[in-house]
Amino acid sequence: MAWAEQLLGELGRRANLSLNISAQGTCSLTFGNEELFFEIRDELLFIMADLGSSHGMDTMFRELLEGCNLGAYSAFGSIGIDEVRHEFVMTRVLSAQVDYEDFEQLLSLFVRTVRQWKSKLEKYTLELEAVEQPKGQEYYNSILP
């Protein structure tokens, strides 16, 4: 998988980082607070990022599915749930060689989109927590024996 290794190598060089690809074809890189995971497998380059916990987020499913429709709000990738870790994950798969400048633009869009989804999920989580907290007299009644 020479082309994918070359893209990741160039990314490491331009970021002045040593990007070590494991024997399994994986590596990761952090952009600000966003960690991207790369995996080279079966002539494909997978780019993945965690968006946040899927616990209690059933009402977000529709918005997430709408975001995946034709890649509209998923950086032309997909959003799914890692059932083991209970995390929303955004993925983009490259199946053919692209030049480095296009790859860099693709990564920039991917990171911006990850940030947007993380922000939405965090806001939604805060709204859920606010709704679940008893207020005023309800709160006092809830703590009294």
Instruction: Name the 3-class secondary structure at 95.
Output: coil
Q: What is the pLDDT of residues 29-84, one digit of tens each?
A: 998 899 999 999 988 999 999 999 888 787 788 888 887 777 778 888 999 899 99
Domains of the chain: 2-143 (3.30.1460.10)
Question: 33 burial class (0-12, 13-18, 19+ CB within 10 angstroms)?
Answer: exposed
Q: Is the pTM of this model over 0.85?
A: no
Q: What is the pLDDT of residues 76-125, one digit of tens each?
A: 899 989 999 999 999 999 999 999 999 999 999 999 999 999 998 888 87
Under 8 Å between Cβ of 19 and 11: yes
Find the distance separating the first CA and the last CA of the chain, reported in whole Å: 66
CA gap 19, 22 in Å, rounded: 10
Q: What's the farthest any 2 CA atoms get from each other in the chain? A: 68
